[in-house]
Amino acid sequence: MTTQFPSLANIDQAKTALIVVDVQNGFITGNLAVPNAARIVPIINEIAKQFDHVILTQDYHPSNHISFAKHHEGKKPFDTIVLSYGEQVLWPNHCEQGTQDAEFHADLSIPHAELILRKGYNAQVDSYSAFMEADGTMTGLDGYLKQRGIDTLYFVGIATDYCVTWSTIDAVNLGYQCTVLMDATAAIDQDGSLQDAIDDMQALGVNLDFEKFTVCQL
Ligand code: VGL
Ligand code: ZN
């Protein structure tokens, strides 16, 4: 049976897509596990049933990726460095191409998802955003959505304060109407990063929906 979420009942399906950000092992049980991320997987499965168009993003790094702390002498995860494109947070190795850590979580079930957008595959540049690498290179997602007449986006996934926020900020700047379903996201929340992200999104006109989603699990 489909759980109905009344707030999602009247969306214009033809013009709307759900973007499911980085629901991968690495961010749930793996190398960069985010607190409470496992609880959002069944919620996302139910939410996705209410959208005709669903797109999945996948953080997908080569093993020599510049965001991995171990490649920087004397640095540890969560330190920051300055690169040609700006400040870069350093991370534990995560979501390496071809590993279990990079795979979608086994409980994620969205058979009708129509596009999987990989990002972060350039060894020299990080890409939190689904739309744009950190140096401004476009990923092609904007072209895909605009060619298909989609102008309204809902976001769920991980991490609220990194890939979700960066994606929504680019999306708003590219002209999309954006809503984050906050209860279907999970945050890293280091040093106030979640509150900063919320402030940034609200300042730009991203709609933050804080309703609680309850799903029956059989
Ligand atoms: C992410 C840190 C590094 C994310 C990706 O999905 O939010 N965070 N790479
Ligand atoms: Zn990453």
Homologous superfamily (CATH) for 14-61+96-209: Isochorismatase-like (3.40.50.850)
Mutate to test the pocket of ligand 1, among 20, 21, 27 (most ligand atoms within 8 A of CB): 27
- Predicted confidence (pLDDT) at residue 156 exceeds the cutoff of 50: yes
In this structure, the chain runs to a length of 218
The total of other beta-carbon atoms located within 10 Å of residue 158's CB is: 30
163 is catalytic: yes
Closest residue by Cα to residue 48 from 145, 113, 144 = 113
- Predicted confidence (pLDDT) at residue 16 exceeds the cutoff of 60: yes
The rounded Å distance from CA 127 to ligand 2 centre is 7
Query: What backbone phi and psi angles, to 5 degrees, belong to 200?
Result: -65, -45
- Write down the pLDDT at residue 218: 61
* Ligand with an atom nearest the CA of residue 33: 1
pTM of the full structure: 0.97
* Ligand with an atom nearest the CA of residue 96: 2
Average pLDDT over residues 131-140: 98
79 is catalytic: no
- Write down the pLDDT at residue 217: 67
Task: Report the C-alpha gap between 43 and 173 in whole angstroms.
Answer: 28
- Write down the pLDDT at residue 37: 98
The rounded Å distance from CA 128 to ligand 1 centre is 6
Is residue 45 helix, strand or coil? helix
**Cβ-contact 27, 163 below 8 angstroms:** no
Mutate to test the pocket of ligand 1, among 91, 139, 180, 201 (most ligand atoms within 8 A of CB): 91
Take residue 142 and report the two structure tokens written for it. Answer: 């904007």
Residues of the chain above pLDDT 70, percent? 98
Task: Report the C-alpha gap between 81 and 134 in whole angstroms.
Answer: 14
- Write down the pLDDT at residue 62: 98
Cβ neighbors of 178 (< 8 A, separation 6 or more) are: 152, 153, 154, 155, 168, 171, 172, 205, 206, 207
**Cβ-contact 211, 183 below 8 angstroms:** yes
* Minimum-distance ligand 1 atom for the alpha carbon of 163: 7
The rounded Å distance from CA 17 to ligand 1 centre is 21
Average pLDDT over residues 24-39: 97
Helical H segments across 1-99, by residue range: 25-28, 40-48
* Ligand with an atom nearest the CA of residue 164: 1
* Minimum-distance ligand 1 atom for the alpha carbon of 61: 9
Closest residue by Cα to residue 105 from 216, 186, 210 = 186
Amino acid at 93: N
- Write down the pLDDT at residue 2: 57
Task: Report the C-alpha gap between 22 and 60 in whole angstroms.
Answer: 9
* Minimum-distance ligand 1 atom for the alpha carbon of 27: 6
Quickly list DSSP for 29-41.
TSTTPPTT-TTHH
Chain position carrying tokens 């957008």: 117
The total of other beta-carbon atoms located within 10 Å of residue 107's CB is: 13
Amino acid at 187: A
- Write down the pLDDT at residue 1: 47
